[in-house]
Structures are given as structure tokens and as C-alpha cells.
Amino acid sequence: MSVVFDSNSSGGAQAWREWPLVAAGLLALYVPTFYDLAGGLWQNDDHAHGPIILGVVVWLVWRERAALLAAPARAARGTGFALLVLGLLFYVVGRSQDINVLQVGSLVPVLAGVLLAMRGWTAVRALWFPLLFAVFLVPFPNVFVDAVTGSLKQNVSAVAESILYAAGYPIGRSGVMLTIGQYQMLVADACSGLNSMFSLSALGFLYLYLMQRKSVLHNALVVASILPIAFTANIIRVLALILVTYYFGDEAGQGFLHGAAGMVLVMAALILLLFFDAVLAKVIRPRSPA
């Protein structure tokens, strides 16, 4: 149970004077963390979206600053301090043991705890989406990546082989190894599509938030479509790489065009997502008030 305090005008003014100190504390905690990530994990292609997600979170908080400032001060200090202590515990363990999932993941409970302790639930509601979107900063733990990647690679290679075989291409498969003509291609971890699913999920949630669709069904269907669309886009990417290799040689497939395939993936996924959203907008119209 949380204890709720009504803040009078002088108390509210005092709370706002404390924000610079709170901001300084948050910067002292997380600037070293993000600095280390910028020089390490974020240099990896699998996590290159990290700085973009962080920038979007900061922009979203700035975008909602008016709603935050207008929120009445009803501090839920019991719940707020509990969340803050939990988040700081995650941070200390993650920082001391170099566990990124805990260190970065602590940001959400720390921010939510600060908002609750200083302004209450109205402040949390004002910043609910930036808090949710900050979850996309948290890197996947290796045990999860290893468990999911293998299955995705098997499925991607099987679907790609079936499509090209049905189209008449001389292709065979052994596990995640594809043979087309004289070329052999290994469906590597980067081609599993896990990162594309993660990135498209972030883009999809951000898109829905900015579009402010009124229909719950519309939003639910778009969210449900994100993972299938990401998987389909990754199939398109793998097919493009296979065909480039088949027609233009291994160097073309592994060189410049291999990098361009990432753009093919992003563009295909976004086009499919926007097309599906546009179709739903035509089919599902929010009810007008009687």
C-alpha cells in the first residue's frame, strides 16, 4: 500500500526546486553506463539501435514536459521509494558485476520511483510511454539470444528454401546451410531476424503512440502484426542475399550488397507495417459519439 500526500503550493514549489538535484543524480548514475555502452556494446551491429532508442526516450520526455509540469502534486512516496530502492539495487548489482541487463534495466524503476515519490501517479501517467519505450534500451541476455536465435535460423532457412525451390531454383538445405547452384550459404546469427523483430517492435510502438489511433482493436492488431511482419521482412532479406549470390557471385553477396540487405529489411518491414495500418484504418473506423 502506498501513502499519498497532498502537496500545497509551497510544497509543490519546493518539489520543483528539487528537480535539478534529482536530474544531477540521474546523470551521475547513468552517464557512465551509457558512456561504457557507447564504447562497447553499442559498437556491435546487433545493438547499434541503442543510441537511437536513448535519443527517442529523451525526446519523448521533453515532448511530454507540459503534461508533466501540469500534473498535480500527490506524491505516492511509499510506492515511489520502494520502486526507487529496487531500481537502485538492480543498478548496483548490474554496475558492480557488469550485467548490462540489470544496469540498463534499472532505469525504468528508478525513473518511475522518482516520479511517484515527487509527483505521484499523475506524473507516471504523463510519462507512461517514455517509461515503456525505455524498456527497448535493455539488451537481451545471452541465454535468451542463444535460445531464440537457433530456432529462428532454422525457420528462416526452411522458408527460404521452400520458396526458391517452388520457384524452380536449384537449392538444397542441411540445417541452416543452404546450397544454391555452386554456392553454399550459412544462415548466420545476424540473419536470424531477432534484432529486426526487436527494432521493428520499437518502431511499431512509437508509430502507434504518435498516430494516436482511437480504436483499441486497430492498435491491438498492429501490435500483433509486428513480429510476423519482421519475420516476413527477414525472409525477403535472406532471399535477396541468396539471389544476389546466385546471379552475381559470392563476393557480391558478402560485400557491399550484404550491407545493403539490412536496408532492404528495414524498408520492407516498414512498408508492410504502414500498409497494414492503412488497411486497418479503412476497415476499422472509430465509432462516432451518438
One-letter amino acid for residue 181 of the chain:
G
Question: Which cell goes with 111?
Answer: 525513473
Strand duo 171-174 + 177-180: pairing: antiparallel
Burial class (CB in 10 A: 0-12, 13-18, 19+), 196: buried
In contact, 205 and 223? CB cutoff 8 Å: yes
| Active-site residue, from 17, 237, 285, 287 | 237
- The H or E element that residue 177 is part of is strand 177-180
Annotated active-site residue in 17, 65, 119, 191: 191
Neighbour order of strands in the sheet with 183-186: 171-174, 177-180, 183-186
**Is 17 part of the annotated catalytic residue set?**
no
Residue type, 60: L
Active site residue 173: no
Contact between residue 149 and residue 189 where contact means Cβ atoms under 8 Å apart: yes
d(CA 107, CA 232): 33
Any idea which residues carry the catalytic annotation? 191, 237
